[in-house]
Structure 1
Amino acid sequence: MKKLRLDILLSDTSPAHSLTRTRASSLIMEGKVSVNGNICTKPGTLVAPESSISIKETNPYVSRGGLKLKGALTDFNLGVKGKRVIDIGASTGGFTDCLLKEGADFIYCIDVGYGQLHYSIRNNDKIKNLENINIKYLPFEEIGEKLDLAVCDVSFISLKKVFPHIPKFLKDGGLILSLIKPQFEAENKNILKKGIVKDENIHKSIIDAIIEFSKTLNLMTIGVKKSCIKGKKGNTEFFILLSKDSETKDLKK
């Protein structure tokens, strides 16, 4: 059988194709990938598909979300040290954990679920954990201040139903860094089995639609980057960075 590049083979054979080729290459160069028991540090090494490949990867965050956000912060060259943040869709707390490690001053964790935030961070004095509440129904008084940054990772809902409720919590010029999950934005006809959206043209149309919708809220797009890690089922995901224009109309209801 024809040999393949190690980075390609690692990406293609990872569970649900969860590793991008870029992430696979990074792991290889960091010496975290072994082929038949031997560490290999060259992504272009040709390897037989039947080879035994193992990864020694330790996640420094409480969930994969932390790795995603760290990648986005790096891609956008965005620092959060000293920033006050709202984490929408906090769940286990991967984004929050990353923000804490990057020096954020304080984080409001918002989630519709209950009891999900990881025990290692839920009692941190830099966190206010607001559980069992939808951002759509969160009154400004619960936060009581204008923040520097909102991060967002939500599922089973379109960002178009979430974004209108974020600006009231941000300062003028405040930022939104949100994960775009195509499977929750695409029309049903464009979603394959297991909730996968593969067509890059659909990805582009989804991103363009979110950018245009954001303009109606006076949220200006700074940039869009592909997430360094795919979703659990193998979906390519994206991060969008937006800025709140000074004339943004805060939605009060």
Structure 2
Amino acid sequence: MAPADIGGQAELTVADLSFISLTLVVLPLALCTVPGGDLVLMVKPQFEIGKDRLGRTGVVNSERERRMAVEKVANAALDAGLDLCGLAASPLPGQDGNVEYFLWIKR
């Protein structure tokens, strides 16, 4: 994905993705955001921790595993040269009951 694919860079980029790790797309998303722009990413731990560590129900019950998932995405953002601005748990659970998080990043 490149800025030309979406008509240029955006001031705000929001991502709510499934079945892919945000670590794979945080840099392309950032490049589609103007310098100084904001990104709000929904971190879904079930797509960050790997199938081998996911229970059969698809719900990440471990607080430790959820924290590791958020840290994985946050570290990918830092590695891309982005600034972390905030983190909040979503007030609504995911479809299967997963706790999900909003990660606010500044390019």
- Same fold? TM cut 0.5: yes
Aligned to 1:173: 36
Equivalent residue number for residue 193 of structure 1: 56
> 5+ residue gaps in structure 1?
1-137, 245-253
Give 1:178's aligned amino acid: L
Residue by residue over 1:44-68, the C-alpha shift from the partner in whole angstroms, topping out at 9 and shown as x without a partner, is xxxxxxxxxxxxxxxxxxxxxxxxx
Equivalent position of 1:143 in the other structure: 6
Q: Relative to total residues, which structure has the larger strand share, 1 or 2?
A: 2
The 3-state SS of whatever aligns with 1:148 is strand
> What's 2:102 paired with?
239
Indicate the structure whose relative CO is greater, using CA pairs within 8 Å and at least 6 residues apart. 2
- Looking at structure 2, the residues matched to 139 and 189 of structure 1 have their Cα atoms a distance apart, in angstroms, of 32
Instruction: Give % identity.
Output: 27
In 2, the alpha carbon distance for the partners of 1:167 and 1:213 equals: 11
Please tell me whether the aligned partners of residues 16 and 41 of structure 2 are also in contact (alpha carbons under 8 angstroms).
Answer: yes
Moved beyond 6 Å, runs of 4+: none
Q: Tell me the secondary structure at the aligned position of residue 85 of structure 2.
A: strand
Q: CA deviation at 1:141?
A: 2.1
Report the CA distance between 1:142 and its aligned residue.
3.0
User: Secondary structure in 2 aligned to 1:215?
Assistant: helix
What RMSD in Å do the two structures reach over aligned CA positions? 1.3
What TM-score does the superposition give when structure 2 sets the normalisation length? Answer: 0.92
Query: C-alpha deviations, 1:189-224, integer Å up to 9, x for none?
Result: 321122111100111111112111111111111011
TM-score, structure 1 normalization: 0.41
Unaligned runs of 5+ in 2: none
- How many residue pairs align between the two structures? 107
